[in-house]
Amino acid sequence: MSVDNVTPGEMMTIAASRALSNDDVCFVGIGAPSAACNVARLTHAPDITLIYESGTIGTAPDVLPLSIGDGELCETALTTVSVPEMFRYWLQGGRITIGFLGAAQIDRFGNINTTVIGDYARPTVRLPGGGGAPEIASASREVFVTMAQSKRGMVERIDFFTSFGHGEGGDHRRRLGLQTKGPTLLVTDLAIWKPDPETKAFTVVSLHPGVTRQAVQETCGWPVRFADDLDETPPPSDVELETLRALKARTEAAHAGRAGGGTRKGPNDG
Amino acid sequence: MARFMPLEEAVATHLKDGDTAAFEGFTHLIPTAAAHQAIRQGVSDLVLVRMTPDIVYDQMIGMGLARKLVFSYAGNPGVGLLRRLRDAVENGWPRPLALEEHSHAAMANAYEAGAAGLPFAAFRGYRGAGLAAVNPNIRQVTCPFTGEVLAAVPALRPDVAFIHAQKADRKGNVLVEGIVGIQKEAVLAARRAVVTVEEVVEDFAGLHPNLCVLPHWTVAAISVVPGGAHPSYTHGYYERDNPAYLEWDRVAADREVFAAWMKTHVLDAGPGVFAERVAGLGVER
């Protein structure tokens, strides 16, 4: 497959999907994480367990859900449990290997803000809030994040700590009594990032095909560190790209198939 | 003891000014018809509780019914932000709205504590999370056995809970299936519960023994409102009206457009319109 045909968004989804394995039990955030998780399930990880916070365990949707509680998720799930059971037994109980989150705002230590832009009491923009994220970030054995790069999204200092990543870096998680690993992977539309073993600051370990260091820095609000042995992300295979595009096409068709006017968008964080 | 009554009577009887009210539904089975009836009734000074306030709470807040919101995720699912809620929080329009914000885990635990008759819920949460610094109802408790410090939040005990369900039987037992969300806990935590249903059947004989059934003596009132969860969905009856969620983003963006929309679709309408709204959204049964 020619790299020229691949959009940055497709590269992001496919690179993120590769990080998941067949044995993972993954708590899926809506939007970009949902696409990556389902591409993994439809390619190299057919037995992965995908869990959405609405209580659907082992779901296998044919199209991407618009919300975490679409009927498709329940109809294709192994079982559907109540919301308290979801958060108490399955998340707090330590059953989740990967919490896969999106982010409105992230800092270099993987701390995420989806609560407010500006001051909490007098916000410039009131965002939806954390939902399940604060405990997904603390109770999942590790956390993957995927988001498109922008200076507005990747910032020096987040306005609110909705979900705790590595805090101020170093051993901050341990000092708070958090036994889980926290963010171990950030996949953007331009690169793959992993935390430095000591400082825990995200470091670029792989550039997607055709992406320059300059492009990564221009869309990131903190001074970017690049690994000494910087890799290039393998381009999407034919199977990966065809799987993603077919999934998107089925999703568009399904969500456009109902009565009513208005412009339609694809799945979005919400 | 459940009494069958028209929705107008159920809301008038069980929802009062100043009540703490939970209209629960986790993306599925959102009790829209009941919320619209509350708007028509003109009730005021509500403390609204819900894990996932979406379009109906945007409408109630935009119409000035609420003085406070207790919640964990306030968004238009799959679309974006709630613009009436934003207007209330950012600009105090039509009136200021106090927020008590939690995580899903906290709200779920708090409802469960309410249903269990406990004063508070303890769970392993909020570590490093900024909400603990801005919400005085997020505190800590130390485990007397291990010494582990856990998060504590007060139990949720709404005055009244509203939910939508698939069906009731003649006695008023209520069946919920599919994504069951937090509804059972909300009903059992509340002092009174009002349920709208798609239909009434003779009895529940022959159904799976582990289905979620709320016995008739846990429910105060039942109103039959086919389509009453629109634009959300009722598993087995009709699908989610996704274009309606997209349209709401446009309607809620402007105060005048919002007011006109509410007059046409809520104030000048009644519970009977919901059956028409889901007519094109049916699923094969």
Residues A112-153 have pLDDT tens digits of 999 999 999 999 988 999 999 999 999 999 999 999 999 999
- Tokens 């997209």 found at: B246
CA distance B31 to B28: 9
Nearest chain B alpha carbon to A57: B179
Q: Which two tokens stand for residue B281?
A: 């959204």
Q: Residue B166 phi/psi, 5° resolution?
A: -65, -55
Q: Is residue B44 domain-resident?
A: yes
- Lowest-pLDDT range, A70-74, A194-198, B21-25? A70-74
B50 and B178 in a common domain = yes
Quick one: B264 exposed, middle or buried, by C-beta within 10 A (0-12, 13-18, 19+)? Answer: exposed
| 3-state SS, residue A167 | coil
**How far is it, in rounded angstroms, from Cα A7 to Cα A5?**
7
A199-243 pLDDT, tens digit each: 999 999 999 999 999 999 999 999 999 999 999 999 999 999 999
The answer on B93 and B220 residing in a single domain is yes
Interface with chain A: mutation pick from B50, B93, B103, B234, highest number of A CBs within 10 Å: B103
Higher pLDDT, A104 or A239: A239
Average pLDDT over residues A253-257: 76
Please give the pLDDT value at position A262.
33
Q: How far is CA A217 from CA A113, A207, A213, A235, in A?
A: 21, 12, 6, 21
The reported pLDDT for the residue numbered A254 is: 85
pLDDT, residue A260, reads 38
Across chain A, mean pLDDT equals 92
Same-domain check for residues B214 and B253:
yes
Residue A100 belongs to a domain: yes
- Report the C-alpha gap between A18 and A21 in whole angstroms: 8
User: Percent of chain A beyond pLDDT 70?
Assistant: 93
CB contacts < 8 A, A to B, total 206
> What single DSSP character describes residue B238?
B
A129 contacts in chain B (CB < 8 Å): 71-75, 101
**Could you tell me if B92 and B17 lie in one domain?**
yes
Q: Give the distance from residue A77's alpha carbon to the nearest chain B alpha carbon, in angstroms.
A: 10
B230 & B245 share domain: yes
Measured in angstroms, the CA of A84 and the nearest CA of chain B are apart by: 5
A254-269: buried (b, 16+ CB within 10 Å) or exposed (e) per residue? bbeeeebeeeeeebbb
- Asked whether residue B223 is domain-assigned, the answer is yes
Q: What would the mean pLDDT of A6-22 be, rounded to a whole number?
A: 98
Q: What is the pLDDT of residue A184?
A: 98
Q: Are strands A105-106 and A112-113 parallel, antiparallel or unpaired?
A: antiparallel
CB contact A79 to B (< 8 Å): no
Pick from A86-100, B8-22, B56-70, B206-220: least confident: B206-220
d(CA B56, CA B48): 11
Question: Which positions 210-249 of B are in contact with A (Cβ < 8 Å)?
Answer: 233, 235, 239-247
The answer on B96 and B108 residing in a single domain is no
Residues B91 and B114 placed together within one structural domain of the fold: no
Give the CATH number of the domain where residue B71 resides: 3.40.1080.10
Q: Which residues does A175 contact at the CB level (< 8 Å), separation at least 6?
A: none
Residue A164: pLDDT over 50: yes
Range of the domain at A141: 3-254
Residue B194 to residue B3: CA distance in whole angstroms: 10
Which residues of chain B have a CB within 8 Å of the CB of A55? 26, 179-181
| Structural domain includes residue A142 | yes
- Tell me, yes or no, whether B140 and B177 share the same domain: no
CA B201 to chain centre: 24
Q: Is A204 part of a structural domain of the chain?
A: yes
The answer to whether residue B17 sits within a structural domain is yes
Which of A54, A130, A260 is closest, CB to CB, to B72?
A130
Residue A261 lies in a domain: no
Cβ contacts of A65 on chain B, cutoff 8 Å: 78
Counted domains in chain A? 1
Range of the domain at B136: 104-154
Structural domains in chain B (count): 2
Residue among B28, B104, B124 whose CB faces A131 most closely = B104
- Residue A263 domain-assigned (yes or no): no
User: What backbone torsions phi and psi does residue A156 show, to the nearest 5 degrees?
Assistant: -60, -45
User: Do both B185 and B272 map to the same domain?
Assistant: yes
Instruction: Specify the pLDDT at position A267.
Output: 35
On whether residue B284 sits in a domain, the answer given is no
Q: Are residues B39 and B138 in the same domain?
A: no
Cis peptide before B94 (omega within 30 of 0): yes
User: Is B178 inside a domain boundary?
Assistant: yes
Which of B79, B178, B243 is nearest residue A261 as measured by Cβ atoms? B243
pLDDT of A258 reads: 53
Q: Does A237 lie at the interface with B, CB-CB under 8 angstroms?
A: no
Q: What is the pLDDT of residue B118?
A: 98
**Type of residue found at A111:** N
A260 touching B, CB under 8 A?
Answer: yes
Domain's final residue, options B118, B134, B154: B154
With 60 as the cut, is the pLDDT of residue A257 above it?
no
CA dist A12 and A130 (Å) reads 23
Asked whether residue A268 carries a pLDDT value surpassing 70, the answer given is no
Q: Which of the listed residues B154, B177, B193 is the one where a domain comes to its end?
A: B154
Same domain, residue pair B87 and B111: no
Shared domain check, B146 and B20:
no
Q: Name the residues of A annotated as catalytic.
A: 53
Tens digits of per-residue pLDDT, B93-141?
A: 999 999 999 999 999 999 999 999 999 999 999 999 999 999 999 999 9
pLDDT at A264: 32
| Euclidean distance between CA atoms A34 and A66, whole angstroms | 10
Q: What is the CATH number of the domain that holds A75?
A: 3.40.1080.10
Residue B285 lies in a domain: no
- Tell me chain B's radius of gyration from C-alpha atoms: 19
Residue A147 lies in a domain: yes
B175-226 tens-digit pLDDT: 999 999 999 999 999 999 999 999 999 999 998 888 889 999 999 999 999 9
Is B198:B228 a contact under the CB 8 Å cutoff?
A: yes
Of A125, A127, A262, the CB nearest to B247: A262
Angle, CA A164 vertex, CA A65 and CA B127 arms, to 5°: 110
Verify whether the Cβ–Cβ distance B179 to A162 is below 8 Å.
Answer: no
pLDDT for the residue numbered A265: 31
